[in-house]
Structure 1
Amino acid sequence: MRKTGSTFRKKLIVSLGALMLIKIILIGAEGLVVDKPLSASSALAQEPQASGKNASGTASSPKEVTSDPAPRIPAPGGLDLEIIKDVEKRNKELDLKEEKLKREKERIDTMKSDIDAQISELKALQAKIDEQIKLRDDLQKVSIKKLAKTYSAMPPENAAALIQQIDISIAIRVLGAMKERSAGKILAVIPPKLASTLSEGLVRKK
């Protein structure tokens, strides 16, 4: 009986110990449940701090991680938009150049019109001058013929005296309009030097 009671007592103690252990485990589990659970962001924030410590418990300096920048990928349609903008810019530049050329052409056309007008005026003036020259020549011819007729009717000495007073070129023309006999008589009474000059002029005139 004594052995049976001892065995029962041992079983009871073991059972009590097991119950106490279970209670302690339950109390610990209840404490874990009561504590505020860590959020995912807090857990992630604390994880680098924990992992940043070395075996001695001191924080180790984090290593800088460098990475190449990601290649820029143009947005859909962005390339087409850039092309359109570039084309518009070039079109504006071409429009400006075309406008500049247009103004320059207008300026040149105006200058040409002014030049043409001046040329027309000069031509008209030249025509008037030519007409006046012709009229003068005609008058000179008439006058020379009259002088030649008048001088031919004079005595050679009187005609020679008048011829010596006029311009040599006119004297040559007057003598050239006379008959050779009359001109010879006049030249015979003119001083030899002047007579020689007049004779040479008559030869060239022929």
Structure 2
Amino acid sequence: MSLRLPRRASNGRKDATRLALLEAALNVFGEKGYHGAAVDDIVDRAGRSKGAAYFHFPSKAAIFRALVRELANQLVNSIQRKMDDVDSPAERLDAALLGLIEVFVRHRALARIVLIEVAGAGRAFSADLIFVRRQFADLIERELDRAVEIGAIPPCDTHLIATAWFGALNEVAVHWLHDPDAGSLHASYPSLRQLLLQSVGFSPAEVDRVPLHA
């Protein structure tokens, strides 16, 4: 099934063409990987002309870079909305973890692009890889800072911990993407949330009071 990006207010045909190209790229890169995909594949999937593609994006790399940043922004926005439905620091951090897992489970191609393809595309995309990592880590860091400020957890290096959180989630998700026998990504949620929430100072009893959604 083809994936689609969220719709926004449009400025007309140019925006529609750009969105169609990015949606096609999402599916083509998800299926073939960065190195296996060609601009012609994206153009054919989008039903647009090659000239229209090059008007918006001068190269395959430019399409990929725009897509990665769009996906990272959409991913963080989706997680933020889930966090905004709850109040306590433990629940908000739990919602961030579960929100990321749910998006990856629903959209495996998206997960493959932001976790595997951008890392394997080459040094030219190092800044994009850092951008993806920081988008999620910065979201977690802000929540940890808030938890420290209100006394929910002890003072800690929130920047380092947020980076470590992303690293743990990245390793689990990449293993799930690579190994067909890895089982459901949802199955990792209870253990991950216990590990990550307790790592910042929430007691086992506090973690147990957060509803287990998976």
TM-score norm. by structure 2 comes to 0.19
Normalised to the residue count of structure 1, the TM-score between the two structures is 0.20
User: Which protein, 1 or 2, shows the higher relative CO under an 8 Å CA cutoff with sep ≥ 6?
Assistant: 2
